[in-house]
Amino acid sequence: MRWLTVWIASAIGLAVISHIHLGIMAKSTEAILVAALVLGLVNTTIKPIVKLLTLPINLLTFGLFGWVINALMLWLVSAIVPGFIVHGFGAAFWGALILSIVSGVVGWIIRYA
């Protein structure tokens, strides 16, 4: 049941950031849902490996490099999912920042509602 909550929160977060016009675009609702699913798979499989490989730089930046990793994962999802477009690293960075905030709030609301 937790995976469904995370997926819904991610989908809502992706919908929000695609409507803010940060350079992130979704051509359809299906693209948002697929992007949320792929983002969950990428965060489950690839992100831990990348975090382990970048551990020294993450320690030197006191964990701030984690935001760069999140942006790269969002950018990777845009390369995989047709109809979900991220225009550049800057858009991915700000999109990942807003996505984490929106997904966290939505997840919290879903859990305690």
Q: At what angle do helices 2-20 and 29-53 cross, to 10 degrees?
A: 110
d(CA 24, CA 100): 15
Measured over the CA atoms of residue 70, residue 72, residue 77 and residue 78, the dihedral's sign is positive
Question: Which pLDDT score is estimated for 103?
Answer: 83
Write out pLDDT tens, residues 56-79.
Answer: 999 999 989 999 999 999 999 999
Structural domains counted in the chain: 1
- Mean pLDDT score of the chain: 91
Query: Which residues make Cβ contacts (< 8 Å) with residue 72, sequence separation at least 6?
Result: 50, 92
Structural domain for 95, as ranges? 2-112
Tell me: the pLDDT tens digits for 87-98? Answer: 999 999 999 999
Q: What is the DSSP string of 59-95?
A: HHTTTTHHHHHHHHHHHHHHHHSTTEEE-HHHHHHHH
